[in-house]
Amino acid sequence: DADVTQTPRNRITKTGKRIMLECSQTKGHDRMYWYRQDPGLGLRLIYYSFDVKDINKGEISDGYSVSRQAQAKFSLSLESAIPNQTALYFCATSDPTRFPYNEQFFGPGTRLTVL
């Protein structure tokens, strides 16, 4: 099955550490997204990418960076993790040629805890 996968699924790290969350997809979609989910705040967009050379900031990009290594891979990095980055992180994809536009296909999520 064409799918969206995320690694790791769970991660505990310490304040100040650099951490990378990875996302891979076999759907052949051009667009990829990173969201964080916090209780009561819903999903907030961190970064999104339309192709390897097109990276865009979302509403909460401070403290994060991304890399689109290939059409199928989109990584999220926390250069120096802090406790308020403890959250559930989701990767998603969409196909801009598929109606309705922007329908999102989600990975299973990464639960990140920063101590």
What is the per-residue binding string for other proteins in 6-45, x denoting contact by CB under 8 A? ---------------------------x------xxxx-x
The DSSP call for residue 85 is G
Binding status of residue 58 toward other proteins by CB under 8 A:
yes
Binding status of residue 52 toward other proteins by CB under 8 A:
no
100 prior amide bond cis, ω within 30: yes
Binding status of residue 101 toward other proteins by CB under 8 A:
yes
Which residue in the set 8, 16, 28, 108 belongs to the binding site for other proteins (CB under 8 A)?
108
Nearest to 89 by CA among 40, 13, 28, 22: 22
Kind plus residue range of the DSSP H or E element containing 60: none
Binding status of residue 56 toward other proteins by CB under 8 A:
yes
CA atoms of 114 and 98, how far apart (whole Å): 38
Residues in region 60-89 near other proteins by CB under 8 A? none
Binding status of residue 2 toward other proteins by CB under 8 A:
no
Is residue 75 within 8 Å of residue 66, measured between CB atoms? yes
Q: Which is nearer to other proteins, 3 or 79 (CB)?
A: 3
Is residue 32 within 8 Å of residue 23, measured between CB atoms? yes
Q: Which is nearer to other proteins, 53 or 100 (CB)?
A: 100
